[in-house]
Chains A and B, each alone.
Chain A
């Protein structure tokens, strides 16, 4: 099952689906998120996972569908930057729990201080892909609003790379407005404090741009549109199509503007696709994106990573295949970061950490293809740079392109690679400036100690050679010190 291919990944995917949803919901309602994740080890590879937030909650009627119906998600085809778009849906976690332990999912939801809290125990009726409600009752919940979900599942807990711990830490880095409490299976409490009250800008939903539409989607749009004519359909359901552009497209496709969209054949839809490709259309609007921002990347870095130097860059938005996207890069250098290893890469898509398939990812390829030696890091041919560095790459887009359904590696569109490289180079220049300055300072200090070490021996030798007295000896040592130190300030 996608996202649950191994017991270690099961914990990660479960928590990830819930936390991503919570963060999206809080952001939409402009609430500063408080999330608590608790994983309890029950023995025999069994864990109880609970995730609780202070978000807007879910209205009673929707609870069963959201948690116990596969692929119910409302965000799947929306042209809007969201975290949830990166996942497979919380219901997949509910199903996995049900398959491995037979236990139902337990959900509490409350939408306002004045409403009661609803408690559900849900299974998925897999034959009909429908919720199977086991318990449904009102309970008292000492909270203004929010959701809590509890699942029991078979899994494996491990720390280190690609672990649930790592996911939460990285999530905290790119969501500096989040206050997260995590209690791990070893009963350790790890707290990630909020370092800004500034909430991410709420991304806007936009209509699809013609350049990014595939034939299947176009055919579905033609079937479901409310527009009465082809020309109206193009103008109302897509972004950046004026009546002039619409006419041009239809003319090239040899179609009358006033045909009913529902009546189009597959072949005619294909004609439209082809003529879109031949028509010059303005790039989509890019104000729909919500990057983290240079300053907040630094804040997120500084609170979780002890380094000597931090820098970040937010590129202006760009477009691949009609989809707006934006790249951000941050670099942390020195401090506690191990210096004899390859640089660590933190990859994010719409603020969600990507932990698997690093080598297949466009970010990794771009980092490898950047000449880090120019920026003061060592690098072997065809490899990641080496040194005490952590490189963060964030792509936000209304539609992040992945290499596969598991949504772990970003596809290598030339426009995306180019933007990532430009951002890396910008940060690289800042980094090299720091490294160079530090090297110069180190050299200065070394030179100074060199002078202090060996200069007295010139004095001693001259004293022995010329039978100088102590005063004469210290005088020439002083003069020499003066000459040499002045000499290398130049």
Chain B
């Protein structure tokens, strides 16, 4: 069923409930880490079946009305083959008088609810995010289409010099050509720059992706499609801290609690964690900073609540080790041994030795 039909069907159901003089109800899957399960065979977080029901009442009437108006906006967008950014949708609501959203997080929240309710991706509702998807450099040709002529365009990711190719917001229709052997997904723009500058991709025949923190949906989807289409392994290289492990890597690999209804498509289950692992901090004698209070809290929190971490004893061991050391290390700490140490020594050694990775 198309999204448009799903919206209409839901609206009709509400309408008929009202005509029967009953209070209408909207059912949303609960979007949080509490309501996801992780099956390593499937490889991503999926919903665990808990729903929250929003029955129309005095206390829910505002959000109920806003949800319906947002659905009506989506219907208009889909019918008119148009799109609106999340920010634009927020501004459209300013025309809804009392039902308007005061801040964008409120409209984002309602949008996420509708997504989850119909088990679709926000792009399928006609809404697109503001954020870009990340940057790519290396042995890859991306095949996109020219907007005016609809002809195929080949974008060669080796030819951006010291710059890089920007992952677009929607990656669904892209095609790829490549001879690379693997994808290296990198946390920081700084490390990405260093690897690009020294043409690391040429040396090791790979594709470099800069995630710039927690990867966006587009970035996750791009890596997933590329890796599936071309059967490429994905290696992840982040800072050696709880944020790099449990937020950046975990979200890339298995998705997030908040978007559990669509994780199936927006995750990279075959990703492997290359470094910086807690053991690397010891083995490479990296300069460190003490763990901050938030880091310690995060470690405790994920050990207790994150279904992915809890599934892998390697990760439990690694996080416990980190907590024991009370230290964290950044990717760029490798520069202690020379600026190109990461290219000449660290990455080659790590790539060769699968035992030093984390699942």
A-side residues, CB < 8 A to B, are 447, 450-451, 453-455, 457-458, 460-462, 464-466, 468, 476, 479-480, 482-484, 487-488
Cα–Cα, bound, A54→B65 (Å) = 72
Q: Is B14 an interface residue (CB 8 A)?
A: yes
Secondary structure at the B interface, as helix, strand, loop or mixed, is helix
4 A-B pairs with the lowest CB-CB distances in the bound complex, closest first: A461-B68, A457-B65, A465-B11, A464-B72
Tell me how far the C-beta of A69 lies from the nearest C-beta in chain B, rounded to whole angstroms.
75
- Given A464-B75, A466-B15: A458 and B21 within 8 A (CB)? no
- Name the CB-closest residue of B to A443: B58
Let me know if B12 and A466 touch, CB within 8 A. yes
* Interface core residue of B8, B58, B75 (most chain A CB under 10 Å): B58
Closest-by-CB residue of A relative to B97 is A457
In the complex, what residues of A have CB within 8 A of residue B66's CB?
457
Shortest CB-to-CB span from A481 to chain B, Å, is 10
How close is A475's CB to chain B, nearest CB, in angstroms? 8
27 A-B pairs with CB atoms under 8 Å apart are: A450-B61, A453-B62, A453-B98, A454-B61, A457-B65, A457-B66, A457-B69, A457-B96, A457-B99, A458-B65, A458-B68, A460-B72, A461-B65, A461-B69, A461-B71, A462-B14, A464-B69, A465-B11, A465-B75, A466-B8, A466-B11, A476-B15, A479-B18, A479-B19, A487-B23, A487-B57, A488-B58
The secondary structure that dominates the A interface is: helix
Q: What's the least CB distance linking B13 to chain A, in Å?
A: 11
**CA A453 – CA B71 in complex, angstroms?**
19
Instruction: Give the distance in Å from the alpha carbon of A320 to the alpha carbon of B97 in the complex.
Output: 67
Tell me, in angstroms, the Cα distance from A468 to B96 when the chains sit together. Answer: 18
**A454 partner residues in chain B, CB cutoff 8 A:** 61-62, 64-65, 98-99
Tell me which residues across on chain B come within 8 A of A461, comparing CB atoms. 65, 68-69, 71-72
CB distance from B56 to the nearest CB of A (A): 7
CA distance A36 to B350 in the complex (A): 102
Q: How far is the CA of A26 from the CA of B64 in the complex (A)?
A: 71
Contacting residues, chain B, for A458 (C-beta < 8 A): 56, 61, 64-65, 68
Known contacts A465-B7, A465-B11, A465-B72; A476/B65 CB under 8 A: no
Within 8 A of A (CB), among B1-44: 7-8, 11-12, 14-15, 18-19, 21-23
Q: How far is the CB of A480 from chain B (nearest CB, A)?
A: 6
0/1 string, B49-70, CB within 8 A of A gives 1: 0000000111001101110110
Q: With the chains together, A476 CA to B19 CA distance in Å?
A: 7
CB-CB nearest in chain B for A486: B21
Chain A proximity of B187: nearest CB distance (Å): 42
B76 at interface, CB cutoff 8 A:
yes
A451–B60 CA distance with the chains assembled, in angstroms: 10
The count of chain B contact residues (Cβ–Cβ below 8 Å) is 29
- Give which listed residue, A462, A482, A484, contacts B58 with CB less than 8 A: A484
| Minimum Cβ distance to chain A for residue B24 (Å) | 8
Give Cα distance in the complex from A281 to B91, angstroms: 84
Shortest beta-carbon distance from A169 to chain B in Å: 45
Q: Are A451 and B18 in contact (CB under 8 A)?
A: no
- Known A-B contacts A450-B62, A465-B7, A466-B11; the reply to A457 vs B18 at CB < 8 A is no
Known contacts being A457-B98, A458-B68, A479-B19, is A487 close to B8, with CB within 8 Å? no
Q: Bound complex: CA of A234 vs CA of B15, how far in Å?
A: 92
Minimum Cβ distance to chain B for residue A68 (Å): 75
Q: Are B61 and A482 in contact (CB under 8 A)?
A: no
When the two chains form their complex, are residues A457 and B11 in contact, meaning their CB atoms are under 8 A apart? no
Other contacts beyond A457-B65, A476-B15, A487-B57: 20, CB < 8 A: A450-B61, A453-B62, A454-B65, A457-B98, A460-B69, A461-B71, A462-B11, A464-B69, A465-B8, A465-B11, A466-B12, A466-B15, A476-B18, A480-B18, A482-B21, A484-B57, A484-B58, A484-B61, A487-B58, A488-B58
Q: Which residues in A have their C-beta under 8 angstroms from that of B56?
A: 458, 480, 483-484
Complex CA gap A447/B75 in Å reads: 30
State the Cβ distance, A294 to closest chain B Cβ, in Å: 40
For residue B7, which residue of chain A has the nearest CB? Answer: A465
Question: How far, in whole Å, are A468 and B15 apart by their CA atoms in the complex?
Answer: 10
The CA of A466 and the CA of B98, in the complex, are separated in Å by 22
Q: Which residue, of A454, A458, A465, A482, has the highest number of chain B Cβ atoms within 10 A?
A: A465
Q: Quick check: A450 and B99 within 8 Å, CB to CB?
A: no
Q: How far is the CB of B49 from chain A (nearest CB, A)?
A: 27
Residues in A with CB closer than 8 Å to B14 are 462
Residue of A nearest to B58 (CB): A447
CB distance from B54 to the nearest CB of A (A): 12
CA A453 to CA B96, docked complex, whole Å: 11
Partner pick for A483 among B11, B23, B65, B72, CB 8 A cutoff: B23
Specify which chain A residues have a CB less than 8 angstroms from the CB of B97 in the assembled complex.
457
Closest residue of chain A to B11, judged by CB? Answer: A465
CB proximity of A489 to chain B, nearest CB, Å? 11
Bound CA span A466–B76, Å: 11
Q: Smallest CB-CB separation from B96: which chain A residue?
A: A457
Q: How far is the CB of A490 from chain B (nearest CB, A)?
A: 12
A464 vs B19: C-alpha distance when bound (angstroms): 17
Closest to B20 in A: A479
Let me know if A457 and B21 touch, CB within 8 A: no
Q: Which has the most chain B C-beta neighbours within 10 Å: A454, A466, A476, A483?
A: A454
Q: Could you say which residues of chain B place their CB within 8 Å of the CB of A468?
A: 15
Interface residues of B in 122-160 (CB under 8 A from A): none
Docked CA distance A462–B96 (Å): 14
Q: Is the CB of A451 within 8 A of B58?
A: yes
**Complex contacts, B76 vs chain A, CB 8 Å:** 464
Task: Report the nearest A residue to B65, measured CB to CB.
Answer: A457
**When chains A and B are docked, how far (Å) is the Cα of A447 from the Cα of B66?**
17
- A453 contacts across to B, CB distance below 8 A: 62, 98
Residues of chain B contacted by A455 (CB below 8 angstroms): 61, 65
Residues of A contacting B98 with CB < 8 Å? 453-454, 457
Taking the closest CB of chain B, its distance from the CB of A217, in whole angstroms, is: 69
